[in-house]
Amino acid sequence: MRVLLDECLPKKLKRELAGCTVITVPEQGWAGQKNGALLRLAQIEFDVFLTIDQNLTNQQNLSQIDLAIIVLSAQDNQLETLQPLMPKVLEVLETIQTGQMVQIS
């Protein structure tokens, strides 16, 4: 499973996704891309986009994107805040399908 980690998430979150190939947006060279362009790029090389951007579903027509999306719902984007959500993320990664959007809180 190839996972693209949004640039608004801490890079160290990659360690929490054992068994997956995880690349950050900056590592991919896509830092600063707007969400629409980023998702169109991501669907070519990745299976899942992991973000904390709560507005993503309102800003983009996700039915047009050939990518699974996981949105983390947390009070902030600090590693310590997000770590408790990661077991659920790993669980969702086992079954998520292209075109699905799952919110985890």
Domain containing residue 35? 2-104
Residue 45 burial (CB count, 10 A): 11
- For the segment 16-40, what is each residue's pLDDT rounded down to a tens digit? 998 999 999 999 999 999 888 899 9
Task: Please say if the pLDDT value at position 54 is more than 90.
Answer: no
Task: Check if the beta carbon of residue 44 is closer than 8 Å to that of residue 67.
Answer: no
pTM over 0.85: yes
Task: Please say if the pLDDT value at position 50 is more than 90.
Answer: yes
Q: What CATH number does the domain containing 68 carry?
A: 3.40.50
Residue 54 burial (CB count, 10 A): 12
Closest CA to 68 of 100, 33, 25, 20: 100
Q: Which pLDDT score is estimated for 62?
A: 66
Residues 35 and 17: their CA atoms lie apart, in Å, by 23
- For the segment 57-102, what is each residue's pLDDT rounded down to a tens digit? 666 666 778 899 999 999 999 999 999 999 999 999 999 999 889 9
Q: Which pLDDT score is estimated for 70?
A: 95
Number of domains in the chain: 1
Helix (H, G, I), strand (E, B) or coil at 1: coil
